[in-house]
């Protein structure tokens, strides 16, 4: 029997010209949720952010590879997969540039009131009704980067075009980057205290979950903007609502939320000092194509009997039997 590969709808339609490469080795199906009760014969699945947990894996007795269409894999229970001899891959590097672009779009969109101004020019400017409130300049501001990994670094590189000071905090100090880009390492509390714009670029894991809560928000400048394009749960949302309401910080620009899609009645969405986008930092033609190539490339390697190149860090030393 030919093996089956499933492509989940959450992968935002991997283009067929990319997935066609898999057809030489497997039957490829684009699936709709909910998945069939039993996923017999499915050896690999390309997934978006839907949870891949024990319950899901129970339905897929022949599964050997979970290929995340994305860099973050907090939605996949890697330990459970490892115990069952299932490889997990992701798509590092290819979305760092697009992700950093989106971070800057949020920063500038917020600073310059772009959504408000866009609606004003279409509905009220000609009638001389109201005005767009003044925004802010980046000049003289301090940008704080929490997490100077691949995406944080791209954000830093773009910041060099702005007249700003840049500081960062990371579990690992990056001395070479400090020298190369003139970015200053600070302890976490200083990052909170000194940043005019705090942008978050950490993975979601047990130690980063809720890393920004009421205590941390309390330490930030009352004029500061917090930007999150990483994962929603790194910020405690109810603490953020309180901080925004009580003027502990000035604003938030968010691409990610604790629960996604975020409910329409999420208080954050009704706050004028919040700029929100629906988890689209990687949603550009170029980046999505690169992600499609990288994620299907991982599946292709497995189908050809090779070890996929982008196995997640936790499985880097785990030996998996290769396909014969």
Part of the chain binding ligand DGY (CB under 6 A), chosen from 68-76, 128-136, 160-168, 237-245: 68-76
Strand order in the sheet with 274-276: 184-185, 165-169, 142-146, 197-200, 225-228, 251-254, 274-276
Instruction: Identify the active-site residue in 16, 40, 215, 260.
Output: 260
What angle, rounded to 10 degrees, do the helices at 285-303 and 96-111 form? 150
Q: How far apart are CA 172 and CA 174, in angstroms?
A: 6
Strand order in the sheet with 27-30: 27-30, 4-7, 42-47, 65-68, 87-89
The candidate with the shortest Cα–Cα distance to 21, out of 8, 32, 5, 33, is: 5
Between CA 286 and CA 164 the distance in angstroms is 29
Quote the strand ranges of the chain, DSSP E: 4-7, 27-30, 42-47, 65-68, 87-89, 142-146, 165-169, 184-185, 197-200, 225-228, 251-254, 274-276
Among 49, 89, 262, 301, binds ligand DGY (CB under 6 A): 49
Nearer residue to ligand DGY within complex by CB, 273 or 284: 284
Q: Is 314 one of the catalytic residues?
A: no
251 near ligand DGY, judged by CB under 6 A: no
218 labelled catalytic: no
Q: Which residue is nearest to ligand DGY (CB)?
A: 70
Considering the rule CB under 6 A, would residue 298 count as an interface residue with ligand DGY? no
Q: Which of 11, 19, 199, 282 binds ligand DGY (CB under 6 A)?
A: 282
Residue 280, token pair as written in the block: 């689209």
β-partners of residue 275 are 253
Nearer to ligand DGY, 70 or 308 (CB): 70
Give 10 or 242: the residue with its C-beta nearer to ligand DGY: 10
Active site residue 68: no
For position 96 contacting ligand DGY by CB under 6 A, the verdict is: no
Q: Are 231 and 204 in contact (CB under 8 A)?
A: yes
Nearest CB to ligand DGY, comparing residues 49 and 103? 49
72 binds ligand DGY (CB under 6 A): yes
Q: Is 52 in the site for ligand DGY (CB under 6 A)?
A: no
Classified as helix, coil or strand, 234 is helix
Q: How far is the CB of 96 from ligand DGY (least distance, A)?
A: 10
Among positions 185-204, residues that touch ligand DGY (CB under 6 A) are none
Q: Select which of 231, 288, 294, 310 is catalytic.
A: 231
List 70, 149, 297, 308, residue binding ligand DGY (CB under 6 A): 70
Contact residues for ligand DGY (CB under 6 A)? 49, 70-72, 95, 282
Q: Which residues are catalytic?
A: 231, 260, 279
């Amino acid at each position: 029997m030919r093996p089956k590969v499933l492509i989940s709808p959450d992968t935002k339609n991997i283009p067929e010209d990319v997935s066609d490469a898999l057809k030489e080795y497997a039957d490829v199906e684009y699936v709709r949720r909910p998945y069939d009760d039993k996923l017999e014969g499915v050896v690999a699945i390309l997934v978006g952010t839907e949870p891949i947990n024990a319950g899901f894996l129970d339905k897929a007795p022949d599964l050997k590879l979970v290929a995340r269409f994305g860099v973050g894999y907090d939605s996949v229970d890697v330990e459970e997969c490892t115990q069952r001899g299932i490889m997990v891959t992701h798509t590092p590097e290819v979305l760092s540039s697009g992700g950093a672009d989106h971070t800057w779009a949020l920063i500038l969109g917020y600073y310059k009131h772009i959504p408000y101004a866009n609606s004003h020019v279409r509905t009220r400017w000609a009638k001389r009704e109201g005005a767009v409130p003044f925004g802010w300049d980046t000049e003289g501001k301090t940008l704080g980067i929490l997490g100077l990994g691949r995406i944080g670094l791209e954000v830093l590189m773009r910041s060099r075009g702005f007249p700003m000071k840049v500081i960062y905090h990371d579990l690992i100090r990056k001395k070479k980057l400090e020298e190369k880009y003139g970015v200053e390492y600070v302890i976490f509390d200083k990052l909170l205290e000194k940043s005019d714009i705090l942008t978050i670029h950490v993975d979601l894991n047990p130690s980063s979950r809720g890393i920004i809560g009421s205590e941390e928000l309390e330490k930030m400048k009352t004029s500061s903007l917090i930007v999150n394009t990483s994962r929603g749960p790194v910020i405690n949302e109810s603490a953020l609502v309180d901080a925004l309401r009580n003027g502990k910080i000035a604003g938030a620009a968010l691409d990610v939320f604790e629960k996604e899609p975020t409910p329409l009645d999420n208080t954050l969405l009704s706050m004028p000092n919040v700029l929100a986008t629906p988890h689209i930092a990687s949603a550009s033609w170029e980046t999505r194509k690169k992600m499609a190539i990288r994620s299907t490339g991982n599946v292709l390697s497995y189908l050809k009997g090779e070890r996929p190149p982008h196995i997640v860090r936790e499985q880097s030393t785990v030996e998996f039997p290769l396909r014969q």
